[in-house]
Amino acid sequence: MSFGAALPAVDVAGVPADALVLDVREADEWAAGHVEGALHVPMSAFVARFGEVTEAVAEGRRAYVMCRVGGRSAQVTQYLVQQGIDAVNIDGGMLAWEGAGRPMVTDNGSPAFVL
């Protein structure tokens, strides 16, 4: 059986409201605005913090992987799939999320935006 190079992906409208969103952007990007309840594990720290990810998906949850436009999250999604984790890349990332009018928050209550 061959899976080819196709990476599992979903557009922002296909992300359930209660989804486990894994945000792999850096701290400054996260601070500007993020999906409420998302798990923030920057790509730069991903290998060191991989245990947090496996713990979050332990209940058989799918990880919806997010970055700014979809490049970094595609790399992380590919890695997760190779580890046997159910993961999908969010096409268009936070820019598409914001463009679709999906809710975003900040930790300090200021207006959220995509950096």
Active site residues: 67
| Rounded distance between C-alpha atoms, residue 63 and residue 21, angstroms | 6
Positive or negative: CA dihedral 92, 100, 54, 9: negative
CB 69 within 8 A of CB 93: yes
